[in-house]
Structure 1
């Protein structure tokens, strides 16, 4: 038999979730972990790995070639990977969980944290608490944009709805429906047309208006599948609602995993508030060595 046995490295991990949208957090301050898509797939597998909707690698911004240009404004970079191994620009639930983890693990003090993402820098407020590890975390999500194109449709369970394209740091197609059961089981990605509108895939929200400033939604997340909650999706749903003429203010957004509060500020930017919980910590064996520095 030829070849060498795979080398492994042991690395600290945390497991956390925001409204059931769960993540594996890998603290990697010095950017030593050569995390590959195959590693993410193994970690996120719910039978042969730890199980999660995605991986959040926490790197000091100055140590990341990808994010070093933001190091003057943010100490930490969120390297977010979807469960399929692809890189994600932004994750609203994920950044709350990452901030909670950085505080709980002693890497940051409670208060306001500036965290760099592929969608830019986000300000995250973690309550000054010592015993409550799942209290509210607020994120400045920026201002969602509706850049078009027009004529987008979403099809699921043999039904088709018009949809709005919303850029909330990552791409969303938001469809308003009469009943959240109508899209079916969402085991497969909804069909979105025209095909060229989202060459890298899209997260799809199905939204019901429950009343003034009150929405409910289900989401099929790009690279993951249906998830119990989506922070950027909640912001995209509010942005699409405003586009129909609804007034600004604070919106309650209900999802299968729980509730977020989205406050629309006078400049159109949004603050998102919801819980973030760290449930476990330990060590994980990765099948690829860390980079030598």
Structure 2
């Protein structure tokens, strides 16, 4: 008798961008039903695969949530935080997602459009070479500073003013003198007023080095402290630009160092931000889901994806 380890297995891939790691589930025909409990189980580092988030790769035409973007992008990144909640954008996640599409032959090298809940993002992925962790760049768009003002972030006895920056997801950016002042970041820093972020917020603690160099630690909404945060790096640069009166500081490339590695943020001529950093697929396998997929009337065509 042959022992079948995965009687109802779902293929998965594991990837990371600057040690910000993700589970990627191929679901081209939108057949998976992922509950919040399922996502939490998969992302748990002791009882699951372990990750800072989960990416589901589904065709835009197959998913009603993304169908309006079908003309612009073939693939939709359904991003889930490890607490099971859905999120609009993840800068490192979208770069890992783009790397997966190219490495799997689902998209050609070059510019890859990807649909997200924050809109379509365009990633530039080089052909796979000897460096499988080679850089991937994604155009993140222009940051928004919608307010409100008078936001404060408190850690222990320290309190700082923060700037609200929207990169497709909300950030409260604090400029501090020493990253140790951010504390252990095991629990979310206190942000006031509470009404400013009714659904929670990612808090970014930035230390300015030279005019174009930042050090950053991030407590991600629904995650905790992560080794790197792509949207956080962009939000921190946007906060520096907002606070700087020097015209020379408003253009060009910025270096952002995080615990998991180095990211680069380039400010384009029209004020948009490009995020560049390593992105790699490091493992693949199969996992048994407790909430199996179900047939859907809009997803009956055969999939060209082969595990």
User: Is TM > 0.5 for Structure 1 vs Structure 2?
Assistant: yes
1:283 alignment partner, one of 261, 283, 286? 286
Once the two structures are TM-superposed, the CA of residue 52 in structure 1 deviates from its matched residue by 0.3
Aligned-partner SS, 2:83: coil
Q: Decide whether the 8 Å contact of 1:9 with 1:287 is kept in 2.
A: no
- In structure 2, the residue matched to 1:272 is 275
Once the two structures are TM-superposed, the CA of residue 292 in structure 1 deviates from its matched residue by 1.5
Q: Aligned partners of 2:112, 2:156: CA distance in 1, in Å?
A: 42
Q: Aligned partners of 1:130, 1:263: CA distance in 2, in Å?
A: 24
Q: Aligned partners of 1:116, 1:226: CA distance in 2, in Å?
A: 26
- In structure 2, the residue matched to 1:262 is 265
1:197-212 aligned at under 5 Å gives the runs 197-212=196-211
Q: Aligned partners of 2:178, 2:273: CA distance in 1, in Å?
A: 26
Once the two structures are TM-superposed, the CA of residue 266 in structure 1 deviates from its matched residue by 1.3
- In structure 2, the residue matched to 1:65 is 64
Aligned-partner SS, 1:166: strand
1:22-41 aligned at under 5 Å gives the runs 22-41=21-40
- In structure 2, the residue matched to 1:43 is 42
- In structure 2, the residue matched to 1:235 is 234
Matched, 1:173 2:172: yes
1:43-122 aligned at under 5 Å gives the runs 43-122=42-121
Q: Decide whether the 8 Å contact of 2:35 with 2:84 is kept in 1.
A: yes
Q: Aligned partners of 1:218, 1:254: CA distance in 2, in Å?
A: 9
Q: Decide whether the 8 Å contact of 1:55 with 1:82 is kept in 2.
A: yes
- In structure 2, the residue matched to 1:216 is 215
Q: Aligned partners of 1:13, 1:108: CA distance in 2, in Å?
A: 18
Q: Aligned partners of 2:157, 2:46: CA distance in 1, in Å?
A: 31
Aligned-partner SS, 2:233: helix
- In structure 2, the residue matched to 1:4 is none
Once the two structures are TM-superposed, the CA of residue 105 in structure 1 deviates from its matched residue by 1.6
Once the two structures are TM-superposed, the CA of residue 158 in structure 1 deviates from its matched residue by 2.4
Q: Aligned partners of 2:157, 2:85: CA distance in 1, in Å?
A: 29
Q: Give the TM-score normalised by structure 1.
A: 0.96
Q: In terms of mean alpha carbon deviation, does 8-17 or 211-220 score higher?
A: 8-17
What runs of 5+ residues in structure 2 fail to find an aligned partner? 1-6, 297-307
Q: Aligned partners of 1:247, 1:34: CA distance in 2, in Å?
A: 44
Q: Deviations over 1:54-108 (max 9, x none)?
A: 0000000110100000000000000000000000100000001111111112211
Once the two structures are TM-superposed, the CA of residue 291 in structure 1 deviates from its matched residue by 1.3
For this pair of structures, how many residues does the alignment match? 287
Matched, 1:142 2:141: yes
- In structure 2, the residue matched to 1:5 is none
Aligned-partner SS, 1:74: coil
Q: Aligned partners of 1:127, 1:166: CA distance in 2, in Å?
A: 30
Once the two structures are TM-superposed, the CA of residue 250 in structure 1 deviates from its matched residue by 0.7
Once the two structures are TM-superposed, the CA of residue 156 in structure 1 deviates from its matched residue by 1.3
- In structure 2, the residue matched to 1:247 is 250
Q: Give the TM-score normalised by structure 2.
A: 0.92
Aligned-partner SS, 1:11: strand
Once the two structures are TM-superposed, the CA of residue 152 in structure 1 deviates from its matched residue by 0.1
Aligned-partner SS, 1:229: coil
RMSD of aligned C-alpha atoms? 1.2
Q: Aligned partners of 1:261, 1:292: CA distance in 2, in Å?
A: 42
